[in-house]
Amino acid sequence: MSGPKPLYMGPRLKRLRRELGLTQQAMAADLEISPSYVALLERNQRPFTADLVLRLARAYRLDLDDLGGDEGADYGRRLQDVLRDPIFADIDLPALEVADLATSFPGISEALLRLHGAYTREQAALADLSAGGGSQTPDPVAEARRFISSRRNWFPSLDARAEGIAALVAEAGDPKAYLAQRHGIRTRSLPDHVMMGAIRRFDRHNQQLLLVDTLSANTARFQAALQVAYQECRGDINAITREGGFASQTTSNLVRRALAGYVAAAILMPYDAFARAVEERRYDIEAVARLFGTSFEQTAHRMTTLHKPGAEKVPFFFLRLDAAGNISKRLDGAGFPFASHGGGCPLWNVHDAFAAPGRVHTQWLELPDGQRFFSIARTVESGGGGYRQPRILRAVALACAAEHAPRLIYAEGVDPRRVEAAPIGVSCRLCHRPDCAARALPPIGREVMAEDYRRGAAPFGLAES
């Protein structure tokens, strides 16, 4: 009679160790085994014993259910599915060899699975292009943005929870003190080389929140508030995430991260107090940021969430991009029609903010259909904190419908109906203004004229439709 099947979970152990920011030597000390044995476990060259699983669960406060399951068998099943692809049809691939690969070489198995996943997505995209249609490949970032946009970036249950937590945090003094008093979690600041590239790490074994010591004061406060969010609102965040029924785990993770950030911001900037301050200071982002000890970006982001019935404030659209035009954050609470793909309009001064870092830029905008908006843009910086530490410069923009602009200090004394607005488009491919000298591409559905006899100032001469 055969005994119980050996339990191999090397990749899972390696992921856990990296999430905890531990070296093999540190984990070996926690588990009371040798570093070489940890290495063998991670390479699936040794199975886990029941005693070792219990030690792992106790040391890092893990649920045994999270550690259950045979990861080698899971890899084997996934590899078998992948190897049914017709591209492998002429190769003899015995099931026993596949199982041996999954168990003995989990790193190579994971590499093959990733490579085939990338291949499948690219094949689908190429098929869509050749058929003249749009890509049907799920885009986790787009899916997460759609979910948050469908709620107008407002989650009342999270705001309600955060309001109560914020009062307790205020009594304690700050999020770090609250973590210590309520959860017994000590916050420590450590050098970058100790943090191994992380800016925040929660050490479950020692109940410590570890922050890199080069963080600015407001970023450190936000990271501590983020830990409070994960400690107290994990269930609420998971419940909202499950409502999305997302196509991939990546989408779920992106939404969970966004919701945790939402809670952290709501703890530092509780709805009612923040909404009052915003009105009293006429949406002066820098002034409100100083009042709450938050950054320009954190404060601008929070202003997009003020949709509580009876206490609604100006609805804003928020955008963050880098100097190359890559969009890393987009939140729509103002009905601003932004293109899902392709670059934005170069006439929007959010792109000009990089020429004068740290200065607030304002601009009146008019879309081709006549809609008018008012935009506030400024650069924000992350990273740095030491010599040769990389600094990332991005620009953020906050835009609202023109009729709301008089409520903002930035548009004081200006009549939106009389002001001249910059004619921008959603993107070049969707903008049909014929005489735009800044155009990069011709619009969809318009023929480009030949230039044998005449070349206009615009990059493309468009035939009459």
The pLDDT tens digits of the residues spanning 249-275 come to 899 999 999 999 999 999 999 999 999
Round to whole Å and give the CA distance between 221 and 267: 10
Beta strand ranges found along 204-256 (DSSP E): 208-212
Q: Are 378 and 353 in contact (CB under 8 A)?
A: yes
Q: What is the pLDDT of residue 13?
A: 86
C-alpha separations of 403 from 22, 301, 361, 364, 414 in Å: 54, 21, 19, 11, 11
Q: What is the pLDDT of residue 387?
A: 82
* Residue 405: band (very low, low, confident or very high) from pLDDT cuts 50, 70, 90: very high
Asked if residue 74 has pLDDT above 80, the reply is no
Return mean pLDDT, the chain: 86
Q: What is the pLDDT of residue 133?
A: 46
Rounded average pLDDT over 184-197: 91
Query: Helix H segments across 244-282?
Result: 249-268, 271-280
Tokens of 66: 């999270």
Looking at residue 101, its amino acid is L
Rounded average pLDDT over 418-436: 83
How many Cβ atoms are within 10 Å of 168's Cβ, its own excluded?
A: 14
Looking at residue 364, its amino acid is W
Higher pLDDT, 388 or 293: 293
Q: What is the pLDDT of residue 425?
A: 82
CB proximity list for 106: less than 8 A, separation 6 or greater: 8, 10, 11, 43, 44, 71, 72, 75
Of 101-105, 281-285, 325-329, the range with the lowest mean pLDDT is 101-105
Nearest to 378 by CA among 313, 297, 439: 297
Higher pLDDT, 441 or 4: 441
Verdict on whether the full-model pTM lies above 0.75:
yes
DSSP string, 389-441: --EEEEEEEEEEEGGGGGGSGGGTT--TTTS--EE--S-GGG---TT-TT--S
Asked if residue 149 has pLDDT above 60, the reply is yes
* Residue 342: band (very low, low, confident or very high) from pLDDT cuts 50, 70, 90: very low
Round to whole Å and give the CA distance between 218 and 295: 6
Asked if residue 80 has pLDDT above 90, the reply is no
Q: What is the pLDDT of residue 167?
A: 97
Of 172-181, 423-432, 447-456, the range with the lowest mean pLDDT is 447-456
Percentage helix, strand, coil for the chain under 3-state DSSP, each rounded to 5: 50, 15, 40
* Residue 132: band (very low, low, confident or very high) from pLDDT cuts 50, 70, 90: very low
Q: Are 262 and 158 in contact (CB under 8 A)?
A: yes
Q: What is the pLDDT of residue 1?
A: 45
Tokens of 18: 């990296």
CB proximity list for 311: less than 8 A, separation 6 or greater: 271, 272, 275
CB proximity list for 326: less than 8 A, separation 6 or greater: none
Looking at residue 353, its amino acid is A
Angle in degrees, CA 390, 391, 394, rounded to 5: 140
